[in-house]
Amino acid sequence: MKRFLRVHRMRHPSDMGEEEIHAFLSPLATVGRVSAATQNQALSASIFILSVS
């Protein structure tokens, strides 16, 4: 989640939504070449942090 928040310049999660999640996850797969499992974990964590805030 630190990485997610850094990518979005420490904006509060309540100010973000689906667009920010997509902007974070897409480069993970293409540039970062992470596995599908890692990308799914990042998606779950992103959804969780956005739903809690």
Task: Output the pLDDT for position 9.
Answer: 78
Contacts of 16 (CB under 8 A, 6+ apart): 8, 50
The predicted model scores a pTM of: 0.63
Q: Would you state the structure tokens that stand for residue 8, as one six-digit string?
A: 């979005």
Tell me the residue length of the chain.
53
- Residue 3 binned pLDDT confidence (cut-offs 50, 70, 90): confident
Question: What pLDDT shows up at residue 39?
Answer: 84
Looking at the 3D structure of the chain, how many domains does it have?
1
Residue ranges making up the domain that contains 23: 2-52
Burial group, residue 46, by CB count within 10 angstroms (0-12, 13-18, 19+): buried
How much is the pLDDT for 26?
A: 81
Residue environment code for 5-18, b if the CB has 16+ CB neighbours within 10 A, otherwise e: eeebeeeebeebee
Model pLDDT for residues 13-49, shown as the tens digit of each residue: 778 777 888 787 788 778 878 888 888 888 888 888 7
pLDDT value of residue 53: 63
